[in-house]
Chain A
Amino acid sequence: MGLSPVISASSSTSAPDTRGADLHAGYSGSSDSHRLDPSPLRVSLTDVQKTFDVGRGRTVQALVDIDLDIAEGEFVALIGPSGCGKSTVLRLLAGLDTTSSGEVELFGSPPEELSRQHRLGVAFQEHALLPWASVSSNISLPYKVAGRSVDKNRVAELIKLVGLTGFEKALPKQLSGGMRQRVAIARALVLNPSLLLLDEPFGALDAVTRRRMNSELARIWSEERLTTLLVTHDVDEALILADRVVVMSGRPGKIHHVEKVDLPRPRDTSVTRTPAFHELVDKLTGMLDGAGEDS
């Protein structure tokens, strides 16, 4: 089940397979970089600016001065008002867009390297399922694209995990919006990615399913320790799942606040009902409102 990525000659000293062995090995990295805390074993955005050209000489400043590190095995949640640039951050990390200035590195390599090695798992806001393919073929797609034989057990395990047992042969059009999103999440997880990027993956789910998916994701994460960035607009969700919550503010998008979440895991109802949890919810919700106003 462990992923054995082929590291190309260009990808310096990284050793991604140590994932989960020693989470903080990365912090003691080599010293030949200009960065303060150099480590090939992390995901980093350094001094990133992103400007979109919207035609007729006009531009939109989407991101300014974004500095963000995600340690290997860390779970970071990104919250902020709509339009503040959360998806843009995620697309930069996924190598789908390039920065206007600044640097994005995934485990010591440029972002494209990770997708070339089939080590990136992404669930987009739009689920992007293949309409002609069944649930199980959609989830198997990453294997096929990577030219690997499909691990049927892994696919079945993920279908069970996201609660779609019995729907293996169903086509996307026969599923509800929430079920489609769960297929997309299973597809993002199937290759045990080194980096998992989730863009509001539970947006179309009802509150009950959402909480269930939250605890499932928390469980997967605690088992596999995937380096994860979750974009969400749900403060509770961010606090249930993340080691750190990054609050962004909009126009132009920048990092407003970073909250380290020290609540014990697993964060089931015994945690979410504590005053400490509610205090954090209130604090971050207040910031979101503030971030919305200062635009």
Chain B
Amino acid sequence: MSAPTIPGTPAPHTATGGSRTHAGTTSGRVRSTLIWVGTNVLHLWPLALVVLVWDLWIVLNNYTALVAARPWDAFADILTHPGEYLYDTWFTMMMSVGGLLLGTVVGSLCAILVWWSAALSGIVTPAALIMRSVPISALIPIIARIFGYESDSTVFVCIVIICFFPSFVFVLSGLVSIPAAGRDLFTVLGAGKAQVLMRLGLLHSVPNLMISVRITAPIAVMAAILAEYLIGNHGLGEMFSYARSYQQWDRAWGTAVIATVLSVAIFLSARWCERKVTDRVT
């Protein structure tokens, strides 16, 4: 499609329909890419602020390296021992992204069931609300009982539970807000409920779905790290827990840095997908 190559820039209005009249010279494209990268880097200023506050906190309290690591020590540990971080970062990333995707699918399916039938709604909605309102820490013992302690499946199930609710709510609100004109059209065309869902409702709900993915993405990383920290065998959370118990502060703070970067990266990717996809369906 004639979607813009530079994310974040408004879609070109190709009134000629299909044929591209977008004046995109190579140098112009490189320049706008640089501007885009630059703007996005500037948008990361809160991260720089966090690093600054972190360092000030240590300096002002006169904490020694036995109590906490300064930012540069953590960065140095990452740069000198990248191999130590690689596997656990990869693991946490796969867990978060996998849990996010499965949670989104489960949430969307629940939303479809609720939309489809009032009877199913009576079963699904209370269950979803309970899952939502009971703190995950209270659920962990139950989940661990079923899927095993110190088990990656338990960690994964926790992430899915955390992630499913936003997509449930957002997709459901998308489905119930199908425009009246669209409903009328499908009624007149003689479409049944399944057709309305497949050809109208789901696609209409895609922007909502993408919003839920964007806001859930950092939560998925947080849930993964927390679950790993509490019950896991692998991942950044477990690595942090391990480093802390041996008082390897540069390593512990290094995992925190990596976790932050991972979370931001997953959020930015989700936002990028959201823009791309939403631009295509609206």
Q: Say whether A118 contacts B282, CB under 8 Å.
A: no
**Given A128-B179, A174-B13, A115:B18 Cβ within 8 A:** no
Chain A CB within 8 A of B49 CB: no
- Docked CA distance A117–B191 (Å): 10
- Docked CA distance A138–B200 (Å): 12
Specify which chain B residues have a CB less than 8 angstroms from the CB of A175 in the assembled complex. 17
- Docked CA distance A122–B182 (Å): 12
Specify which chain B residues have a CB less than 8 angstroms from the CB of A168 in the assembled complex. 17-18
Instruction: Say which residue of A118, A126, A170, A171 sits within 8 Å of B189 (CB atoms).
Output: A118
- Docked CA distance A118–B195 (Å): 14
Chain A at the B interface: SS class: loop
Specify which chain A residues have a CB less than 8 angstroms from the CB of B281 in the assembled complex. 131-132
Instruction: Say which residue of B11, B179, B181, B188 sits within 8 Å of A94 (CB atoms).
Output: B188
Chain B CB within 8 A of A130 CB: yes
Chain B CB within 8 A of A95 CB: yes
- Docked CA distance A130–B183 (Å): 11
Chain A CB within 8 A of B176 CB: no
Specify which chain B residues have a CB less than 8 angstroms from the CB of A63 in the assembled complex. none
Chain B CB within 8 A of A116 CB: yes
Chain B CB within 8 A of A145 CB: yes
Instruction: Say which residue of A120, A124, A141, A169 sits within 8 Å of B181 (CB atoms).
Output: A124
**Given A145-B199, A174-B17, A128:B182 Cβ within 8 A:** yes
Specify which chain B residues have a CB less than 8 angstroms from the CB of A126 in the assembled complex. 181
- Docked CA distance A95–B179 (Å): 18
Chain A CB within 8 A of B81 CB: no
Q: Report the minimal beta-carbon distance from B15 to chain A, rounded to whole angstroms.
A: 6
Chain A CB within 8 A of B35 CB: no
Nearest-neighbor residue (CB-CB) of A119 within chain B: B190
Nearest-neighbor residue (CB-CB) of B186 within chain A: A145
Specify which chain A residues have a CB less than 8 angstroms from the CB of B187 in the assembled complex. 94-96, 115
- Docked CA distance A176–B16 (Å): 11
Q: Say whether B188 contacts A122, CB under 8 Å.
A: yes
Q: Say whether A169 contacts B18, CB under 8 Å.
A: yes
- Docked CA distance A142–B187 (Å): 11
Q: Say whether A170 contacts B186, CB under 8 Å.
A: no
Among B14, B15, B18, B186, the one with the most A-chain Cβ atoms within 10 Å of its Cβ is B18
1/0 contact string of B181-219 vs chain A (CB within 8 Å): 110111111110001000110010010000000000000
- Docked CA distance A135–B181 (Å): 18
Of residues 1 through 51 on chain B, the ones whose CB sits less than 8 Å from some CB of chain A are 1, 11, 13-18
Nearest-neighbor residue (CB-CB) of B179 within chain A: A128
Nearest-neighbor residue (CB-CB) of A135 within chain B: B17
Nearest-neighbor residue (CB-CB) of B280 within chain A: A132
Q: Say whether B282 contacts A115, CB under 8 Å.
A: no
- Docked CA distance A131–B1 (Å): 14
- Docked CA distance A126–B184 (Å): 11
Q: Report the minimal beta-carbon distance from B134 to chain A, rounded to whole angstroms.
A: 38
Instruction: Say which residue of B17, B188, B199, B203 sits within 8 Å of A95 (CB atoms).
Output: B188
Chain B CB within 8 A of A144 CB: yes
27 cross-chain CB contacts under 8 A: A91-B184, A94-B184, A96-B188, A115-B188, A118-B189, A120-B188, A120-B189, A122-B184, A122-B188, A124-B185, A128-B181, A128-B182, A128-B185, A130-B182, A131-B281, A141-B189, A142-B189, A145-B195, A166-B16, A166-B17, A168-B17, A169-B18, A170-B14, A170-B17, A174-B14, A174-B17, A175-B17
Chain B CB within 8 A of A23 CB: no
Specify which chain B residues have a CB less than 8 angstroms from the CB of A173 in the assembled complex. 11, 282
Of residues 75 through 100 on chain A, the ones whose CB sits less than 8 Å from some CB of chain B are 91, 94-96
- Docked CA distance A155–B282 (Å): 23
Specify which chain A residues have a CB less than 8 angstroms from the CB of B181 in the assembled complex. 124, 126, 128
Q: Report the minimal beta-carbon distance from A259 to chain B, rounded to whole angstroms.
A: 28
- Docked CA distance A170–B189 (Å): 23
Of residues 163 through 183 on chain A, the ones whose CB sits less than 8 Å from some CB of chain B are 166-171, 173-176
Chain B CB within 8 A of A146 CB: yes
Instruction: Say which residue of B190, B203, B280 sits within 8 Å of A145 (CB atoms).
Output: B190
Specify which chain A residues have a CB less than 8 angstroms from the CB of B18 in the assembled complex. 166-170
Specify which chain A residues have a CB less than 8 angstroms from the CB of B195 in the assembled complex. 145
Q: Report the minimal beta-carbon distance from A127 to chain B, rounded to whole angstroms.
A: 8
1/0 contact string of A127-169 vs chain B (CB within 8 Å): 0101110010000011011100000000000000000001111
Q: Report the minimal beta-carbon distance from B186 to chain A, rounded to whole angstroms.
A: 7
Instruction: Say which residue of B14, B189, B190, B282 sits within 8 Å of A131 (CB atoms).
Output: B282
Specify which chain B residues have a CB less than 8 angstroms from the CB of A128 in the assembled complex. 179, 181-182, 184-185
Specify which chain A residues have a CB less than 8 angstroms from the CB of B185 in the assembled complex. 122, 124, 128
Q: Report the minimal beta-carbon distance from A287 to chain B, rounded to whole angstroms.
A: 30
Nearest-neighbor residue (CB-CB) of B200 within chain A: A130
- Docked CA distance A167–B14 (Å): 11
